[in-house]
Chains A and B, each alone.
Chain A
Amino acid sequence: MEIQNFEEKLVKMTKPEVIQLRHQEMLANAISSAKDRSVVNWWWLSIPLYIIAALFMKTAFMPDTTLISNIHEFTDKEKYSSFFFFLILPAISIIINLISIRKIYFLSGSPKEMKFLEVVWYNILMIIISVLILIIYSF
């Protein structure tokens, strides 16, 4: 009898329904935060990119010089600012974007789909730009 009652109770019991998973909310926050961060990164990285573009234009108008020699001249003239814009800034950008991508990757259950790349493509672009700036500076 007791077992029957228990079974009836079990049938009557309703399952707790969770409309929105906490995990989903965390993933949405992580994606939103990563996009915000990549926008800030873009504005900061636009400064060294602008300097490179200006030096590139200088190279085009002065045939005797090369882009690398112009960058060397600039780094000699502006030691601290060039160190900040060409080394520290891209390095911080790479670290921040890698952390953001890693967080989204784990929260979305380590997917092997192209959709994941669609979500984090801007962060990947920021990493590529940062690496290019570091390569140009290291020559």
Chain B
Amino acid sequence: MKFPWFKRNGIFFIPSSKVGWIIFCGGVVYAVYSFIQIDSKSHSVSDTLINFVFRALFICAVYSLIAYITSRSANIKEEH
């Protein structure tokens, strides 16, 4: 597999390969699915947003961890 999958730009990891884009799109689809799921159970707009932001932050955190690991493995290969 070709590395790196992501490149860091500020506080965001931007996909730089097909696999990176697949992971990114997977994250977005899961975020949309979570929003619909939370919205169906919540009682108000604020209830939806409060719960969704928490879920969205968690998705972003997991995504950044995956992006960090897969962009780092390229650096390790270059060092050796």
Question: B residues within 8 Å of A by Cβ?
Answer: 8, 10-11, 13, 50, 53-54, 57-58, 60-61, 64-65, 68, 71-72, 75, 79
15 new A-B contacts at CB < 8 Å, known A29-B75, A39-B64 = A29-B79, A32-B75, A37-B68, A39-B10, A40-B68, A42-B11, A43-B11, A43-B57, A44-B61, A44-B64, A44-B65, A46-B61, A47-B54, A50-B57, A51-B54
The verdict on A36 contacting B57 (CB below 8 Å), with A29-B75, A29-B79, A54-B50 known, is: no
How far does the Cβ of B68 sit from chain A's closest Cβ, in whole Å? 5
Within the complex, what minimum Cβ distance (angstroms) separates B49 from chain A?
A: 11
Count of CB-CB pairs between chains A and B under 8 Å: 44
Considering the complex, which residues of chain A in the window 15-43 have a beta carbon less than 8 Å from any beta carbon of chain B? 29, 32-33, 35-37, 39-40, 42-43
The interface residues of chain B, by DSSP majority, are classed as helix
Nearest-Cβ distance from residue B61 to partner chain A, whole angstroms: 4
Residue of B nearest to A49 (CB): B57
Who on chain B is nearest to A32 by CB? B75
Docked-complex contact B54 and A35, CB < 8 angstroms: no
Complex formed: what's the CA distance from A43 to B60 in Å?
A: 7
Count the A residues whose beta carbon is within 8 Å of the partner chain — how many?
16
Residues in A whose Cβ lies below 8 Å from that of B72: 33, 36
- A50, B54: Cβ atoms under 8 Å? yes
Chain A residues, Cβ within 8 Å of B71 = 36
> For the complex, would chain A's binding face be called helix, strand, loop or mixed by DSSP majority?
helix
Chain A: minimal CB distance from B34 (Å): 15
Chain A residue nearest to B50 in the complex (CB): A54
- Inter-chain CA distance A37–B72, complex, in Å, is 10
Query: In the assembled complex, how far is the CB of residue A71 from the closest CB belonging to chain B, in whole angstroms?
Result: 15
Complex Cα spacing A39 to B14, Å = 13
* Docked pose: A64 CA to B25 CA in angstroms: 44
A-B contact pairs, 15 of them (CB 8 A): A36-B71, A36-B72, A37-B68, A39-B8, A39-B13, A39-B68, A40-B68, A42-B11, A44-B61, A44-B65, A46-B61, A47-B54, A47-B57, A47-B61, A50-B57
